[in-house]
Amino acid sequence: MLGEAKRAMNVAEIEAKSILTPTGGFLTGFSHTLNPYVGCSLGGSLCGMACYAAEMPFSSREAAPWGQSLKVKLNAASLYRRDHARVRRKGERLSIFMSSVTDPYVPQERRYRITRGILTEMVEFPPDTLVLQTHAPNVLWDIETLCRLHERCRLTVQISIETDRETLPGFPRHAYSVSARLAALRELTEVGLKTVGVVSPLLPLAEPESFATRLGEAASSVILDHYLIGDGSPDGARTRRRKAVRDLTVPELIAAADGNDWNTLEKFDQIVKTFRTVLGNERVGVSADGFRAMADCT
């Protein structure tokens, strides 16, 4: 592990008003999103520089730059129980994507255990479907709870790994090493959980075929996504306008790291083809359709 990116963090404890948010758009097919925190303390690392959430409207309303502010929803577990009851009283399906605009396993989770509290409630009051997506091997903290929840609902655990390179020129360091995230996927898979390695957003790869093989050995399935089709804006406008490092945008950083072809859908399609050749079509999903299909959230 390379360790979490170090920068000044403003951590605030709050009482939220709700925890389940009806969703649509890129996450059409899921009924709700669930975010235990507001903001993300991984925002100063490589994943934070390329994160779609950094340009979401709520981020622009925060006083601190992306990655320097985290709000902890202290009452998240009790809110989940309340919101779960409301959904069930209406007879509605509950298909949750956790999390869409934060990471459920930010380093502060070790202290606050907000995600653990929610998962514990879910064991007693399960959704129909839960996709738990994180960037952090810290998800292993809750492996026993996840195994219990797996018996109660359709559960998928997803870990994002945007590149096979431990360092990418011009980008900040990883919050967690590629090898640590692959190892976490493998451990989750070995205990019988459904797992997905999420290459999103795709960043330059050193050895695409080898990376596909490594992901295939660690996870049940793989999802590939590109900011041009996956950041929730037409033609990747959010990603293209965001100044990420030294006043450079993410596409400019990508081009400087390994050529502008990585900013094209032609290159993305080539990588998708490579992964499907290595792993088979059924194990490789693409963008929003891939997220829905791998989760079986219908």
Please give the residue that has the higher pLDDT: either 201 or 27: 201
> What pLDDT was estimated at residue 258?
96
Report which residue type is found at 261.
D
pLDDT tens for 216-238 read: 999 999 999 999 999 888 899 88
Residue (of 46, 24, 62) closest to 232 by Cα position: 24
> What pLDDT was estimated at residue 233?
87
> What pLDDT was estimated at residue 7?
56
How far is the C-alpha of 188 from the C-alpha of 137, rounded, in Å?
10
> What pLDDT was estimated at residue 58?
58
Burial (CB < 10 A; 0-12, 13-18, 19+), residue 266, is exposed
Q: Sorting pLDDT into bands at 50, 70 and 90, what band is 24? A: confident
> What pLDDT was estimated at residue 2?
39
pLDDT tens for 121-139 read: 999 999 999 999 999 999 9
Residue range 249-261: mean pLDDT, rounded: 96
Q: What percentage of residues in the chain have a pLDDT greater than 70?
A: 94
- What pairing do the DSSP bridges indicate for beta strands 37-39 and 69-73? antiparallel
How far is the C-alpha of 59 from the C-alpha of 51, rounded, in Å?
11
Q: Sorting pLDDT into bands at 50, 70 and 90, what band is 1? A: very low
Q: Sorting pLDDT into bands at 50, 70 and 90, what band is 59? A: low
Report which residue type is found at 187.
E
CB of 11 closer than 8 Å to CB of 108: yes
CA distances from 90 to 80, 83, 86, 103, 230 (A): 16, 11, 7, 29, 32
| Backbone φ, ψ for residue 98 (5° rounding) | -130, 100
Q: How many CB atoms within 10 Å of residue 141? A: 16
Burial (CB < 10 A; 0-12, 13-18, 19+), residue 128, is middle
Q: Mean pLDDT over all residues of the chain?
A: 93
DSSP labels, 179-201: HHHHHHHHHHHHTT-EEEEEE-S
96 DSSP β-pair partners? 32, 130
Q: What percentage of residues in the chain have a pLDDT greater than 90?
A: 78
- Quick check: 49 pLDDT over 70? yes
- Quick check: 4 pLDDT over 80? no
Q: Given this structure, which CATH class describes domain 10-295?
A: alpha beta
pTM of the model: 0.94
> What pLDDT was estimated at residue 279?
99
